[in-house]
Chains A and B, each alone.
Chain A
Amino acid sequence: MELYMSLAIGVLFTVGVYLILSKSLLRIILGTSFITHGVHLLLLTMSRLKTGAAPLLGEQAESYVDPLPQALILTSIVISFGVTSFFIVLAYKAYQKLGTDDMEQLRGEQNE
């Protein structure tokens, strides 16, 4: 399973980076979400998958999966959500003000 997950993470990263390198602002923000998903799955995969029950002690299981990466991912989800929502609004305001979402046109002045 880890092998296939690693491949899927690679796909997520490829798609994310490809989107980030494009011209449209919307694609770039979507690209960051893909990379975020890739990172979260990577964190989870690195701690080995399915080694036991969910980390709820009420389960009375023999073994549990590693709870620490889950805590880290949870923090990360929230932070990336905050950042993404900020970016979305920023992109929206930038479009309103500048009238374009083409990154090549958002280069700023020459010789500033």
Chain B
Amino acid sequence: MVILHLAIILPFIFALLAPLLNRLLPRVHTGWLMLPVPVVLFAYMLSLIPVIREQGDLEGTIPWIPSLGVDFHVYADGLSLLFALLITGIGSLVLLYSIFYLDKNKEKLVHFYVYLMLFMGAMFGLVMSDNLMVLYSFWELTSISSFLLIAFWHKREKSRYGALKSMVITVFGGLAMFAGFLLLYVMTGTFSIREIMGDASAIANHALFIPAMLLILLGAFTKSAQFPFHIWLPDAMEAPTPVSAYLHSATMVKAGIYLVARMSPIFAGEALWLWLVSGLGLLTLVYGSYRALKQVDLKSMLAFSTISQLGLIMSLFGLGSAAALYTGTAQAEFYSKATMAAVFHLLNHAIFKGALFMVVGIVDHETGTRDIRKLGGLMSVMPITFTIAMIGSFSMAGIPPFNGFLSKEMFFTAMLNIRTMELFGMEAWGTLFPVIAWVASIFTFVYSMLLVFRTFGGKAQFDKLEKKPHEAPLGMLISPVVLATLVIVFGLFPNLASYSLIEPAMAAVHPGLLSPGEQFMVSISLWHGLTIELFMTIGVATVGILLFLMHKRTAVLNQPLFAKAILNRSYDGGMRMMERLSGAITRVYMTGSIRHYLIYIFVFLILAIGMTLFSEDALKVDTTGFADMTFYEAAILIALVLSSVSVLFVTSRLTAIILTGAVGYLVALFFVIFRAPDLALTQLSVETVSVALFLLCFYHLPKLKKELVSLRFKLGNFIIALGVGTIMTLVALSASGTRPFQSISHYFLENSYKLAGGKNVVNVILVDFRGFDTMFEIVVLGIASFGIYSMIRLKLKEDGAEGG
């Protein structure tokens, strides 16, 4: 399947070419050069619709790391196709919009389009990947390119803050998801999603099944801005508006939803999955719609609105998973209506939210502000923009005849259906679902109305605006007009989408429900009779209109409940606290004093060796075979101990050096006694030279004054020193007490003369048997002497600069 691979790689190629093309055609807005990519991809994807519907799914593979089971395996089914169409379709429109939105001379266009192309390719690859590792790679690439796009105006403090926040949260989730993928691999031995689906029933009782599910959900929830990980999305609104429209409403935030839908065949049927996905989705829905009411910035309002709509879709996918419990029966189809609603709303939301963001961008562009308190009365000045905004908002609010109405009705249906379920405690709690959904819909209705009528209705207050508002240029209006048209088209003729997009997508989410050759029959009609759902919608509209009219008066809505943004504060506070804590910890132990570091090292040495000695019961002293001690040896030993200990008490520098020299000579004497003539010779000469060196250098140093230190300082040092000494004695004793195997020295003794022709065995070892040691020891001496020479020659200048 080379074409599908090529399609994924195409945006990356253009991302590479963008700087070059810009250089070659400097007069053309870079956006025009990039525009063909999504258009061509969109056309290709459209051509795949009948192919996938009639002939089944497409797949193809290119080996990447075959030894690890990681292959660039692409797989296009109904769900991928739906997402791919959204990505390329809205991508084309956003590119077109951005050409008119971004100024050619003021902005770094090449950067913008490189990032955008990277994002497009990554998102496209994400929805097409069958291999979990490839999916994860694309997933992280969307995080990175989104990070770059949010901070596009990187000179602004808030842009950088928003980019960093979104990066931290989404990458945190991405890593969790990666761990979940690895757990899936551990359970099934494959990275292929389709093969894992095949094993789904086999791994359902595996101990790692629930952890894998939770980790993957964490990834999905952070990416799709579900409560309480939604906090990055409002801050990501610092991005240029085309980016907000594309990434933060239509595509990237739906990656988590894609993941949930894609993983549904594996995890559906698990109570935890149903409750977590639908419960958290509903919570996000209510919370997001409530918070959207509070916003005065249009983009923030849309951000919270996106959060709440994503919660809606998420909860529907959660409820749809109930269908997996009833294979092949009418009940399954009953519950799978939730999935149908989810897929349909996914499509609708991408369309109307894209349009709304573009509208807000136009308002911002033409008036210089997005603050709802400064805006008003734009209806007469910007009639086209107003019309688009109205269509988008009414669709979002769920008013007929727009497409939002249909998906809202289906949403209510799904919520009502779940009450009848008799599993997982639904009989007790199921009634809550439609109630929460209804309340959230009212909030949605109110903020949608606020969005339109605060911006375009009411009194005009043009004196507060930076610019004199006027209608946007035609080019900027094309994309939102197209989207608004689609809102109406899908509202009036919903079956256009149902046949080509929704049915295949449902088949992908519920692969087990259908027998081969069968297809979901989705039929959505604008008028479906007097149902409970219709009355619920009428209720939403009635209460919503009342609340909107009383908005200024109703205490409930104006109350700064939640306005303190507890979650953002805890995020910021948490970040600050972690920084401070790690800083404090580092300051505590990284003191800069070499003595402290040595203390850590010695204490660790004492503890590690001491504990090992006792835990392994290694402390055995076997005195048999120990040599006797004669009078001379005892005398030297006592002299050694005495001179060493007295070094601690002397105050004169000269005495200390001489005492150290004495210890060296006594060691040489020991070498004599212990039959080591060469060692004795070397030790004597080395000691002499060392002492001379000491005297030579330290003649210039200040007198070794008695250290003016506290008793605690001395006592601490002494305890540690004594500990090290004791440990070394114990190690020496237990090591010399045992001899696990014979020494190899008899070989040297036997062969020294025979093979090497020398009778001094030590010298033969040094230059013959183990000559390499000697060679490098000579190198050490050479380096030391060069070092000393250059240090002495080095003239240190007063200003600290070095020269020689």
Contact indicator B656/A8 (Cβ below 8 Å): no
- Determine whether the beta carbon of A68 is less than 8 Å from that of B765: yes
A10→B729 contact, CB < 8 A: yes
Give per-residue flags for B624-654: 1 if the beta carbon is below 8 A from chain A beta carbons, else 0.
Answer: 0111110001100100110011011000010
User: Out of B653, B663, B745, which one reaches A66, CB within 8 Å?
Assistant: B745
B783: which A residues are within 8 A, CB to CB? 82
Q: Tell me the chain B residues, 682-698 only, with Cβ under 8 Å from chain A.
A: 682-683, 686, 689-690, 693-694, 697-698
Does B753 reach chain A (CB closer than 8 Å)? yes
CB–CB A89/B762 < 8 A:
no
Complex CA distance for A27 and B703, rounded to whole angstroms: 12
Q: Is B770 an interface residue (CB 8 A)?
A: yes
- Whole-angstrom distance between the alpha carbons of A10 and B593 in the complex? 26
Shortest Cβ distance from B592 into A: residue: A107
Instruction: Knowing that A4-B637, A15-B648 touch, tell me 11 more A-B residue pairs with CB under 8 angstroms.
Output: A13-B725, A15-B644, A16-B721, A30-B657, A49-B627, A56-B677, A64-B675, A75-B774, A81-B781, A89-B791, A92-B701
A90 touches B728 (CB 8 A): no
Binary interface encoding of chain A residues 1-34 relative to chain B, with 1 for a CB under 8 A from any of its CBs, else 0 = 1111111111111111111111111110110011
Q: What count of chain A residues pass the 8 Å CB interface test?
A: 86
B465 interface hit (Cβ, 8 Å):
no
The main secondary structure of chain A at its interface with chain B is: helix
Of A7, A14, A47, A85, the residue contacting B724 (CB under 8 A) is: A14
**Are B788 and A30 touching (Cβ within 8 A)?**
no
B648 touches A38 (CB 8 A): no
Please name the residue on chain B nearest to A11 by beta carbon. B641
- Would you list which residues of chain A between 71 and 108 have a CB under 8 Å from chain B? 71, 73-75, 77-79, 81-86, 88-93, 95-97, 101, 103-104, 106-108
- CA–CA, A16 to B682, complex, Å? 22
Q: Which of B59-67, B519-527, B732-740 contacts A (4 or more CB under 8 A)?
A: B732-740
Quick check: is B704 within 8 A (CB to CB) of the other chain?
Answer: yes
Decide: A74 and B762 in contact? CB cutoff 8 A: yes
Interface residue? B423 (CB, 8 A): no
What are 29 A-B contacts with C-beta separation under 8 Å? A2-B626, A3-B623, A4-B629, A7-B729, A13-B725, A23-B595, A26-B653, A30-B656, A33-B690, A34-B647, A34-B660, A42-B732, A50-B674, A54-B675, A54-B677, A64-B675, A67-B761, A74-B679, A74-B762, A78-B777, A81-B686, A81-B689, A85-B689, A85-B788, A89-B693, A89-B791, A97-B796, A107-B591, A110-B592
For chain B, the count of residues having a C-beta within 8 Å of the partner chain is: 97
Residues of A participating in the B interface, judged by any CB pair closer than 8 Å: 1-27, 29-30, 33-34, 37-38, 40-42, 44-58, 64-68, 70-71, 73-75, 77-79, 81-86, 88-93, 95-97, 101, 103-104, 106-108, 110
Pick from A18, A90, A106 the residue with the most CB of B within 10 Å: A18
CA distance A110 to B593 in the complex (A): 11
B residues adjacent to A (C-beta < 8 A): 591-595, 598-599, 602, 621, 623, 625-629, 633-634, 637, 640-641, 644-645, 647-648, 653, 656-657, 660, 663-664, 667, 670-671, 673-679, 682-683, 686, 689-690, 693-694, 697-698, 700-702, 704, 707, 709, 717-718, 720-722, 724-726, 728-729, 732-733, 735-736, 743-745, 748-749, 752-753, 759-762, 765-766, 770, 773-774, 777, 780-781, 783-785, 787-788, 791-792, 794, 796
- A3/B781 in contact, CB under 8 A: no
Most chain B CB atoms below 10 A, which of A9, A37, A55, A58: A55
Residues of A within 8 A of B621 (CB): 3
| Residues on the A chain within 8 Å of B760, using CB | 55-57
Contacts of B777 in A (CB 8 A): 75, 78-79
B644 to A75, Cβ gap below 8 A?
no
Residue of A nearest to B773 (CB): A75
Q: Contacts A17-B721, A22-B717, A47-B743: A2 and B736 contacting too (C-beta < 8 A)? A: yes
A3 to B634, CA, bound (A): 12
CB distance from A25 to the nearest CB of B (A): 8
Which of the residues A21, A26, A41 comes within 8 Å of B720, measured between beta carbons?
Answer: A21
Residues from chain A with a CB closer than 8 A to the CB of B752 are 57, 67
Residues of B within 8 A of A3 (CB): 621, 623, 626, 733
A contact residues around B626 at 8 Å (CB): 1-3
Q: How far, in whole Å, are A93 and B671 apart by their CA atoms in the complex?
A: 34
- Are B781 and A78 touching (Cβ within 8 A)? yes
Shortest CB distance B405–A (Å):
62
Q: Which residue of B663, B675, B693 has the most chain A CB atoms within 10 A of its CB atom?
A: B675
In Å, the complex CA distance between A22 and B660 comes to 16
- Complex Cα–Cα for A42 and B735 (A): 10
The residues of A that contact B663 with a CB separation of less than 8 Å are 12, 33-34, 37
Which of A45, A48, A92 is within 8 Å of B732, CB to CB? Answer: A45
Measured between alpha carbons, how far is A42 from B425 in the docked complex, in Å?
73
